[in-house]
Chain A
Amino acid sequence: MAITSPETYWWKPADKEERLWITIAIVWCLILFTMMPLWHIVGGQNPSLEPLKIRPTDYQKVSDAFIEKYKIGEEAGIPVVKPPDGADVYLRGQMWNWIPILELKKGVNYKFHISSVDLMHGFSLMPLVMNFQIVPGQDNILNLTPTSSGTFHIICNEFCGINHHTMVGKIIVKD
């Protein structure tokens, strides 16, 4: 019994049932492993490939410059920005906004940069349910191609202080 010492010679071969299951489990684990590098090759969704450090103050500057260059308006006090095709897009998470509001085009590839200028934030795009950790001091670089058009909202799903739950951003994708 599990509460008594086992019989002296307990290193015994397993029965067929356990051997079969362990074989199935090992093969399954190998499949689980293979799926990840495989998706990098054949799949369309992969997290950031290039870890990049950037100081929050520098990110603020780059983000402000991006907004100034491509601003086309304002909504609820937040700048609306329309970057050209293939541009570097800078999204900033801060207590308690995602800045700027972005107007993008469907099917176009953008080099997305997302970082925080203060605390940890959680980029969460609705209704697609696409989530990334946004770290102050690190640029989360994603080669993003919107494959659907419409109005999308960014909520924050990493606790960032008392107004964390008010943090909502917007991405509009035109055809």
Chain B
Amino acid sequence: MAEERHEDFPAPGSFVIIVIFFITFVLYYFLNWKWLSMIWNIG
């Protein structure tokens, strides 16, 4: 079973890297919405 999963994921290290990238992306993105909400109301 573990081996099957291993084949499904031929590059597990790369997946870890891309998940770190994704988390950074999501955090930075929503942080910027927070900063935007702190300026005057426009629109």
Within the complex, are A and B direct neighbours (CB within 8 Å)?
A: yes
Q: Is the CB of A44 within 8 A of B41?
A: yes
Q: Tell me if A87 counts as interface (CB < 8 A to partner B).
A: no
**Interface SS of chain B:** helix
Query: Could you say which interface size class chain A belongs to?
Result: 20 to 34
Chain B residues in the interface with A (C-beta under 8 A): 7-12, 14-15, 18, 22, 25-26, 29, 33, 36-37, 39-43
| Given contact pairs A21-B18, A24-B22, A45 touches B41 in the complex (Cβ within 8 A) | yes
Q: A21-B15, A21-B18, A28-B22 are in contact. Are A47 and B10 (CB under 8 A)?
A: no
How far is the CB of A19 from the nearest CB of chain B, in Å?
A: 9
A77 contacts partner chain B, Cβ-Cβ < 8 Å: no
A40 partner, pick from B15, B36, B43, beta carbons under 8 A: B43
The residue on B at minimum CB distance from A130 is B39
Q: Check B11–A45 contact: CB distance below 8 A.
A: no
Give residues in A with beta carbon < 8 Å to B. Answer: 15-17, 20-21, 24, 28, 32, 35, 39-40, 43-49, 109, 128-130, 142-148
User: What's the count of A-B pairs with C-beta under 8 Å?
Assistant: 67
Determine how close the nearest CB of chain B comes to the CB of A18; give it in whole angstroms: 9
A28 and B27 CA atoms in complex are apart in Å by 12
Q: Are A43 and B15 in contact (CB under 8 A)?
A: no
Residues of A close to B9: CB separation below 8 A = 15-17
Interface SS of A by simple majority: mixed
A43 in contact with B37 given A130-B42, A143-B42 (CB within 8 Å): yes
B15 pairs with A130, CB closer than 8 A:
no
The CB with the most chain A CB atoms within 10 A, among B8, B12, B40, is that of B40
Contacts of B43 in A (CB 8 A): 40, 44-49, 142-143
